[in-house]
């Protein structure tokens, strides 16, 4: 199974559902539709309405983050896994570099993952190194720390997907070479197997993925799909990524 996950970030209003409707129409008719899954993470404001609309359709709706408490708390503006589940979210991103930059520690991320899984949300756990860490050849050590400090054997690995998003690649148009990406993905899966003592969860790549470079990625069989940013806000660009991957 491959995954095409769109992270809308701070984008979208109710009428933006038209973008997803076009993607869903393509998805339902695609001869390859049983080989992949489409998940979109819009802002909190759209999760409930989008989840209801796509309830019996192909596209699944997720959240871009969740709070590190299981149900309710006194934290202003916080949204818990329980609350997300109650409005129809099926997935949640956790550990995105934007949120790490805003102060998400490993301990906070571990709690987020724990409570999200407890409420039966599937977690897309984001990891990645910054430009300085890459330059200093610390990519693998950074990724190992991010994985081992948060993920535990007791977590249900069937509810976890890992997304490798090199921070230096997000929104820059720069991507790792095929050799670099293959090596890094294999390493991530090796670390995950050590954590879970069994087969690795799916590992995605994210960072400047578009319709023109996705063909390079399809030759790296270790990659199980993509976390897509800017291109997911356009039905044509998102569909082109899927088309070109299976071409």
The length of the chain in residues reads 247
Catalytic residue among 48, 70, 96, 180: 96
Q: Is 183 helix (H, G, I), strand (E, B) or coil?
A: helix
H helical segments located in the chain: 17-29, 44-53, 81-86, 97-101, 106-118, 131-135, 139-148, 178-196, 214-217, 235-245
Please say if 152 is a catalytic residue: no
State yes or no: is 96 an active-site residue. yes
- For residues 20 and 4, what is the distance between their CA atoms, to the nearest angstrom? 13
For tokens 């490798």, name the residue.
Answer: 164
C-alpha distances in Å from residue 201, one per residue of 103, 181, 190, 245: 26, 17, 11, 21
Q: 48, 165, 215, 222: which is the annotated catalytic residue?
A: 165
CB 32 within 8 A of CB 246: yes
| Residues tagged active-site | 96, 165
């Amino acid at each position: 199974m491959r995954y095409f996950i769109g992270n809308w970030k701070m984008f979208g209003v109710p009428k933006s559902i038209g973008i997803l409707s076009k993607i869903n129409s393509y998805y339902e008719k695609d001869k390859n539709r049983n080989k992949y899954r489409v998940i979109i993470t819009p802002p909190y404001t759209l999760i409930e309405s989008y989840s209801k609309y796509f309830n019996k359709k192909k596209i699944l709706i997720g959240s871009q983050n969740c709070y590190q408490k299981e149900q309710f708390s006194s934290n202003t503006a916080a949204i818990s896994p329980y609350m997300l589940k109650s409005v129809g979210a099926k997935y949640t991103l956790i550990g995105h570099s934007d949120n790490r930059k805003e102060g998400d520690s490993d301990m906070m991320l571990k709690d987020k993952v724990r409570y999200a899984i407890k409420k039966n949300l599937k977690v897309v756990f984001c990891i990645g190194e910054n430009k300085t860490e890459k330059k200093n050849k610390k990519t693998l050590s950074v990724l190992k720390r991010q994985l081992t400090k948060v993920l535990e054997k007791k977590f249900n690995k069937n509810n976890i997907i890992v997304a490798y998003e090199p921070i230096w690649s997000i929104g820059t148009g720069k991507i790792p070479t095929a050799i670099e990406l293959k090596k890094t993905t294999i390493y991530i899966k090796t670390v995950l197997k050590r954590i879970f003592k069994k087969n690795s969860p799916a590992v995605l790549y994210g960072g400047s993925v578009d319709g023109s470079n996705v063909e390079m990625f399809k030759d790296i069989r270790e990659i199980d799909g993509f976390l897509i940013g800017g291109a997911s806000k356009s039905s044509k660009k998102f569909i082109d990524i899927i088309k070109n991957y299976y071409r």
